[in-house]
Chains A and B, each alone.
Chain A
């Protein structure tokens, strides 16, 4: 149990569907992240939220829309995805996001997304 919970664990969606991924952390952390992990590729940082404000968006297509309503919850809204968007989507949290000496990320178990 890492303190970061993601739901659902698995999701299959059509290209015209709208779905949302949910992440919840009760570690008292100030920063939350969405990462994409595809086969044979490094973890790709998608979004960073610090104190509920988006601080980084790494050129992610607009079909991915994050939302951080409070410091404990993070959502990733999905709309008109493509098959190449199929991947493991990981949520993480850390005390702060500045990339400082004590930045240690705690990950959820991920959502395995398949777009058909």
Chain B
């Protein structure tokens, strides 16, 4: 069974700070997705990365897929209270589609 680990589990920062969250596995994935889930809602897809070493930017969010396609990071620049939520990574390996446990981010005004 493929497993995805995410760190940190919880993160509380002040508005304007930068942060990075991580998604790691010992397995190789053909693609990896990042989702954000706000309280009382379902997860919403942010990005999909498919190529080792790939970097994608979405406004203040920067996503990177590891060269070996086993890990990924999400960097947020100048965090805002609207970034608050649960950030989930999910990986596909051609047979399975699995989610990590998530990083719960709180951005304080």
Binding site for B on A (CB under 8 A): 2, 4, 6, 41-43, 45, 90, 92, 94, 97-110, 112
Select A104's contact among B33, B42, B96, beta carbons within 8 Å: B33
Binding site for A on B (CB under 8 A): 30-31, 33, 35, 40-45, 48, 50, 88, 90, 92-102
- Per DSSP, chain A at the interface is loop
Give how many A-B residue pairs fall within 8 Å (CB-CB): 62
Contacts of B40 in A (CB 8 A): 109-110, 112
CB distance from A29 to the nearest CB of B (A): 13
User: What's the Cα separation between A2 and B40 when bound, in Å?
Assistant: 15
Select B48's contact among A43, A104, A110, A112, beta carbons within 8 Å: A104
A105:B45 contact, CB within 8 angstroms: yes
Pick 24 A–B contacts, CB within 8 A, sort by A.
Answer: A2-B42, A4-B42, A41-B101, A90-B42, A90-B43, A92-B42, A99-B92, A99-B93, A100-B31, A101-B30, A101-B31, A101-B50, A101-B92, A101-B94, A103-B31, A104-B45, A105-B35, A105-B90, A106-B45, A107-B44, A108-B42, A109-B40, A109-B41, A112-B40
Contacts of A101 in B (CB 8 A): 30-31, 50, 92, 94
Residue of A nearest to B4 (CB): A42
